Amino acid sequence: MQSSSINRSAYGMPDTILSPREALITLNLIPGLGSVRIQSLLEFFGSAELALAAPSHILERVQRIGGKMAAAIANWRNCTNVHAEIECAARHGVRIVTLTDDDYPQALRRMSDPPIVLYVLGEWQQEDARHAVSIVGSRAATPYGMTVARRFGRELADAGCTIISGLAKGIDTAAHRGALDAGGRTIAVMGHGLSRIFPQENEELAQHIIHGHGAVVSEFPMNLPPARTTFPQRNRIVAAWSRATLVVEAPAHSGALHTAHISGVDYGNSVFAIPGMVDKPTSTGCHALIRDGATLCTSPSELMSDMGWNAPPRQMELFAEPEPPKTPSNPSYAVNLAPEGANDILAAINAGHDTLDALCSALGLPAHALTPQLMRLQVMRKLLPLPGGRYQVV
């Protein structure tokens, strides 16, 4: 965008020149201001530049702007440094997108309080929102919850969905990893600035996401640390960016329930919940959601069907039986059908990993890679399919 000059001398103040983009970033840097108040300023003044040029007694006339906040805005040069912020973002490889930019996510424009500025590692696509599913849940997830979240993330991403979550410990981490297992797309919305990744152990996961599989995104200034208030703020972005929200495990009064509420009530999205063990605190929130009208969900195919997403998936017909490979007419050639890693597959099944999900977890392979190998082993009569999606070594 072109720079515009703000005549601050009209208010008895020195002249300052900021571009519209720099002015929006500056407003976003003012501590405690937030997107709702920034929207009020933009509606009142018509531009971020004029809002920054206004004296405090004029700023106090703006809805939601009291005396203390008006003074902070009028004093913006002493509490912000937009050029240092832009340089910091560049050092970390972070792209800054503002609400007025053409490549701002269209899905977020429907929000009543859209983030004014987004900091981005990696790349989002406008198509990500078309079949986007937010998968959320407890940080203190059980092994059951982690397995289910990773399975749903993998199979939904394999079917062409984009997985939205928050890169937190527990369910978020499992959902992102599932999407990566499938080579699919995922977006992580952070509750802190992108000068660092929190939790630290997910830094490698974030790197996998941003290198060709999606984006890590934040509305917070680069050096802002995580805080109790920042995570609820980011939840609204997770909800708005998705078409459906799936809660895997959630105790009562958790952030995941907050996200589900925003998703269903504010944006009219479909809300799904995974049932769990009735005596586990991590199941309490999911069961409450189901009682309150969320859709009970036990498989990715149920979610896809309920959403009406029946288009062919991106990588494979996930919920259809794969075509069996052609068998050579000469039985002596059958030994050449054995897939790479056949012995590992058979050993894993003998060790008790006798379902597709269990094999994916044990072998670290995506479903679309294992399915044809399992079919070949059946053709070779080395493997017998059993009811319930289980396999037995012959």
Domain parsing of the chain, residue ranges? 4-80, 106-307, 331-393
Higher local confidence (pLDDT), 176 or 15: 176
Cα separation, 253 vs 104, in Å, equals: 32
Sign of the dihedral defined by the CA atoms of residues 157, 158, 161, 162, in that order: positive
pLDDT at 319: 39
Tell me: pLDDT of 216 over 90.
yes
Residue 51, number of CB atoms within 10 A of its CB: 26
Half-sphere exposure of 322 (CA within 13 A, CB side): 18
Fold of 331-393: Arc Repressor Mutant, subunit A (1.10.10)
Q: What is the pLDDT of residue 144?
A: 94
- Which residues lie below 8 Å from residue 78, measured CB to CB, with a gap of 6+? none
Helix residue ranges per DSSP H, 75-196:
76-79, 82-91, 143-158, 171-181
Contact in structure between 276 and 287 (CB atoms under 8 Å):
yes
| Extended beta strands in the chain, E state | 4-6, 16-18, 95-98, 117-122, 132-136, 162-165, 185-189, 214-218, 244-247, 270-273, 295-296, 383-386, 390-393
Mean pLDDT of 237-253: 95
- Please report, as a single letter, which amino acid is at residue 277: M
Token representation of residue 170: 């527990």
- DSSP conformation class of 328: P
Residue 169: per-residue pLDDT: 95
Instruction: Report the distance separating Cα 98 and Cα 21, nearest Å.
Output: 7
Q: Which one-letter amino acid corresponds to residue 319?
A: F
Burial group, residue 381, by CB count within 10 angstroms (0-12, 13-18, 19+)? exposed
What mean pLDDT do residues 340-352 have?
A: 84
Distance CA 144, CA 248 (A): 10
Q: In this structure, what token pair is assigned to residue 263?
A: 């998703």
- How many Cα atoms within 13 Å fall on the side-chain side of residue 168? 22
User: Largest alpha-carbon pair distance within the chain?
Assistant: 94
- Burial (CB < 10 A; 0-12, 13-18, 19+), residue 179, is buried
Taking only Cα atoms into account, the Rg of the chain, rounded to an integer number of angstroms, comes to 25
* Yes or no: domain 4-80 corresponds to CATH 3.30.70.2610: no
Helix (H) or strand (E) holding 190: none
Please tell me the least confidently modeled range out of 7-16, 70-79, 193-202, 300-309: 7-16
Look at residue 387 in the predicted model and tell me its pLDDT.
63
Fold of 106-307: Rossmann fold (3.40.50)
The pLDDT of residue 155 is: 96
Residue 259: CA count within 13 A, CB half-sphere: 34
Nearest by Cα to 318 from 340, 300, 343, 303: 300
Q: How confident is the model at residue 356 (pLDDT cuts 50, 70, 90)?
A: confident
Position 357 scores a pLDDT of 79
Alpha helices in 30-170, H assignment, sequence order: 34-45, 48-53, 56-59, 67-74, 76-79, 82-91, 143-158
Name which of 160-169, 261-270, 305-314 the model is least confident about. 305-314
Same CATH topology for 4-80 and 331-393: the answer is no
User: Model confidence over 113-172: pLDDT tens digits?
Assistant: 999 999 999 999 999 999 999 999 999 999 999 999 999 999 999 999 999 999 999 999
Stretch 253-281: mean pLDDT, rounded? 92
CA 269 to chain centre: 15
Q: Please, what is the angle between helix 356-363 and helix 367-379, to 10°?
A: 110
**pTM for this one?**
0.75
Top pLDDT among 6 and 111 is at 111
